[in-house]
């Protein structure tokens, strides 16, 4: 776990993290708040969102929850209006809201397609558009997936959209620079509720063995990458897509991977 002592890397910055009521988004909200940002937590689940806000406030940070359904353009507009009304502007936007369907390309229905594109793609564009209107200088970070680079069966249109996010990031970096930097973080296997639901101990052990770092990811791993890209340490980085996957993308085929299970360090589960 990260140190919860408040620091000042993002002091005076205002950050919106979409889809931040749990998982990667919630941990990213906590991380940016720990480092001094005033954080807007947003999503469709009020109880979960308020719990994240309470965690941040109990640690001495600043946060508020705004309930938003990012499939609805009016809700997106209202989210930014509420943020500006309370905090005066937006400095950091993390587009993280995501849904997926377990459908193959030849099985996907139009409702499946529209659900994923409205949440995982259109909302990223609309949130970025609203954010750019409020930023004199700022940072936009789009959370994509390792599915943007390689994939598995029955993840359509999720995998198509994640590849699209990488392209959208490059386009935004070109169009919004030099004052706004835009980058993508592409997580691999991360231990969040959605991935853990169907993961028994045997499958988890298998996954850990095929990662060169010897484990699957924690939400904190992704939050740390986001914090880096949002900071001045990344001032010369824009239009990039950063794989945060424990080396999984470096593996050509699983049967060539050494057994890392006996070499894991303190970061292992």
Radius of gyration of the chain (CA): 18
Q: Is 158 a catalytic residue?
A: yes
> Which positions ≥6 away from 54 have C-beta within 8 Å?
none
Buried b (16+ CB within 10 A) or exposed e, 143-178: bbbbbbbebeeebbbbbbbbbbbbebbbebbeebee
Residue (of 240, 165, 220, 269) closest to 24 by Cα position: 220
Residue 26: burial class (beta carbons within 10 Å; 0-12, 13-18, 19+): buried
Cα separation, 192 vs 134, in Å, equals 32
Buried b (16+ CB within 10 A) or exposed e, 36-66: bbbbbbbbeeeebbbebbebbeeeebbbbbb
- Cis check: omega of the bond before 178, within 30 degrees of 0: yes
Catalytic residue among 124, 158, 203, 260: 158
Task: Give the residue numbers annotated as catalytic, written as ranges.
Answer: 158
């Amino acid at each position: 776990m990260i140190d919860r002592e408040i620091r000042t890397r993002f002091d005076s910055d205002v950050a919106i993290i979409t889809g931040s009521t749990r998982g990667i988004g919630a941990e990213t909200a906590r991380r940016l708040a720990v480092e001094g940002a005033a954080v807007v937590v947003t999503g469709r689940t009020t109880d979960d969102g308020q719990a994240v806000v309470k965690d941040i406030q109990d640690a001495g940070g600043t946060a508020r929850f705004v309930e938003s359904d990012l499939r609805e353009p009016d809700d997106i507009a209202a989210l930014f209006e509420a943020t500006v009304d309370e905090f005066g502007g937006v400095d950091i936007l993390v587009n993280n809201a995501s849904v997926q369907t377990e459908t193959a390309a030849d099985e996907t229905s139009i409702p499946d397609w529209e659900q994923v594109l409205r949440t995982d793609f259109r909302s990223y564009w609309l949130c970025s558009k609203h954010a750019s209107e409020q930023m004199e200088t700022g940072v936009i970070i789009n959370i994509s997936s390792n599915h943007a680079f390689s994939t598995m069966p029955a993840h359509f249109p999720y995998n198509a959209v994640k590849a699209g996010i990488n392209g959208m990031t490059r386009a935004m970096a070109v169009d919004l620079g030099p004052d706004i930097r835009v980058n993508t973080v592409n997580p691999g296997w991360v231990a969040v509720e959605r991935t853990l639901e169907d993961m028994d101990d045997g499958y988890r052990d298998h996954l850990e063995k095929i990662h060169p770092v010897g484990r699957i990811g924690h939400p904190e791993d992704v939050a740390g990458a986001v914090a880096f890209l949002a900071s001045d340490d990344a001032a010369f980085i824009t239009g990039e897509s950063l794989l945060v996957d424990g080396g999984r993308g470096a593996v050509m085929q699983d049967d060539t991977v050494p057994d890392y299970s006996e070499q894991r360090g303190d970061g292992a589960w």
